[in-house]
Amino acid sequence: MIEVLSVASEAYPLIKTGGLADVAGALPGALAGHGVTMRTLLPGYPAVMNEAGGARVVGEFSDLFDGRARLLAGRFAGLDLIVLDAPHLYDRQGGPYAGQDGMDWPDNWKRFAALSWVAGRLALGLVDGYQPQVVHAHDWQAGLVPAYVKYGPSDRVKTVMTVHNLVFQGHFGSDVFARLDLPSHAFYEGIEYYGGVGYLKAGLASADALTTVSPTYAHEIRTPAFGAGLDGLLNARANVLHGITNGIDTEAWNPATDPALVQTYGPSTVHKRAANKAAVRERFGIDQSAGPLFSVVSRLTSQKGIDLIASNVDWLVSLGASLVVLGSGDAALEATLEAATIRHPGRVGMVKGYDESLSHLIQGGADAILIPSRFEPCGLTQLYGLRYGCVPVVSRVGGLADTVIDANEAAIGAGVATGFQFTAANADAFMQAIRRVVALHADRPAWLSLQKQGMKADVSWARSAKRYAELYKTLIARKQALA
């Protein structure tokens, strides 16, 4: 068995703000069948500490970035966890990165330097006899981990840095560097970012292997348009950069058993979705009509391209389509969409906020899900859409490009189409795709085969877990070959 320590600032089901939590929560289980034992180091937020009742104390630090801290180990919520119990850093109400007022915690530099520093100690085998062979760091919050290993007393352990969204980089002032317990030459060897400190940059510069969550995004982030200022570094490290597409939890997202659905169904009973569609209509106050029922389940932000939908709602309705929106985010986008619900009663509906169960019902009932993102590292909603026969209509970027097969003539002819793609951030392309959806939706047998084909797609973790396991094995073999 290969021992891997995963270092993450969130892991489903304990603490989640985005896709990172799904990945960190799912990977250990998915890797178990591939000869990998994965333990996860998590900050001891209240939500995590509440679950850590019977944990063993495996380590203590008298002064970890200005306070006492302990390491607790145990199996909670289905995960093999090591929890960093540091009340001065994590015991507070609010989110993992920001307070209830939405402002980032001012000591985030310290909160995640501490997490990464402790991971560096674990990598050295200094805690409780535990010796991982690979340390896998996720996002900027764990970005310093590869640097602590590289500049520590031993770099025997191999490191993997995964980027879930390159836009979030963890930038802090240069004064922080002196507090990080790293040698001064490390600053200009990769940690410095425009005069300050960049945690994600540190990880990208120091790790033995870099991964991101889809092959297309791995390519895109090497360009100035998607590189968020790090494309130069990523190009320099292109030979160790890999794209591994995320999977989804196929048990929690199973239309045959999903308790959030009014009516469960499978690929051979897709017609039963009608009952869910009726429930979605009722929930959003949508009248019955012949055109397709489009849906949005998303953060309402410019990254997600929601402006493209907001500015074309009237046109969408004029085609005979309806639209339901579940989400919250940018106030101006929320207001535009709300105004559309008033202009088009019975055709456009919106529920503001986050509602896990309603998101399942929408996937089980709507005809199509719109995902017009400007960039999308992987994206999960199109994978749920595929599994639920809710046809994904996506921009051709990142993981959206890698997981949806456009229903062009050739793909329909070959029976392999699963959705619709269009050029990102382009209103004409968006509108052309919508016209194609409306036309195909009117051809019932063609639409049904599109839904069924999508439901056949493998959206599980099986393939991705195998690729992560292979990556770990390659790194370990390289280490042994060099020894």
Cα–chain center distance at 303: 14
Of 18 and 320, which CB lies nearer to ligand ADP in the complex structure? 18
Task: Yes or no: say if 377 and 371 are a contact pair by the CB < 8 Å rule.
Answer: no
In the chain, how many H helices and how many E strands? Answer: 20, 18
Report which DSSP code applies to 165. Answer: -
Check residue 380 for interaction with ligand ADP (CB under 6 A). Answer: yes
Stretch in the footprint of ligand ADP (CB under 6 A) among 48-56, 204-212, 265-273, 295-303? 295-303
Check residue 19 for interaction with ligand ADP (CB under 6 A). Answer: yes
Residues 391, 373: Cα–Cα separation, whole Å = 16
Helix axes 381-388, 444-456, angle to 10 degrees: 120
Of 292, 349, 365, 379, the residue at the interface with ligand ADP (CB under 6 A) is: 379
| CB 27, min distance to ligand ADP, A | 15
Q: Side-chain half-sphere of 26: how many Cα atoms within 13 Å?
A: 19
Task: Yes or no: say if 181 and 394 are a contact pair by the CB < 8 Å rule.
Answer: no
Beta strands in 313-383 (DSSP E): 322-329, 348-352, 368-371
My answer on whether omega of the bond before 345 falls inside 30° of 0, hence cis, is no
Residues 405, 148: Cα–Cα separation, whole Å = 42
Number of residues that bind ligand ADP (CB under 6 A): 14
| CB 329, min distance to ligand ADP, A | 9
Cβ-proximal residues to 102 (8 Å cutoff; 6+ apart), any chain: none
Residues 320, 287: Cα–Cα separation, whole Å = 11
Stretch in the footprint of ligand ADP (CB under 6 A) among 89-97, 182-190, 376-384, 404-412? 376-384
Check residue 356 for interaction with ligand ADP (CB under 6 A). Answer: yes
Of 315 and 354, which CB lies nearer to ligand ADP in the complex structure? 354
Of 139 and 367, which CB lies nearer to ligand ADP in the complex structure? 139
Cα–chain center distance at 174: 29
Check residue 231 for interaction with ligand ADP (CB under 6 A). Answer: no
Of 2, 3, 13, 18, the residue at the interface with ligand ADP (CB under 6 A) is: 18
Pairing, β 56-61 against β 69-76: antiparallel
Check residue 354 for interaction with ligand ADP (CB under 6 A). Answer: yes
Check residue 381 for interaction with ligand ADP (CB under 6 A). Answer: yes
Site for ligand ADP in 314-353 (CB under 6 A): 326-327
Of 205 and 326, which CB lies nearer to ligand ADP in the complex structure? 326
Question: What length is written for the chain?
Answer: 483
% helix, strand, coil for the chain, step of 5: 40, 20, 35
| CB 25, min distance to ligand ADP, A | 12
Check residue 203 for interaction with ligand ADP (CB under 6 A). Answer: no
Site for ligand ADP in 441-480 (CB under 6 A): none
Of 341 and 359, which CB lies nearer to ligand ADP in the complex structure? 359
Site for ligand ADP in 389-418 (CB under 6 A): none
Residue with the CB atom nearest ligand ADP in the bound state: 19
Q: By CB under 6 A, name the binding residues for ligand ADP.
A: 18-19, 297-299, 326-327, 354-356, 359, 379-381
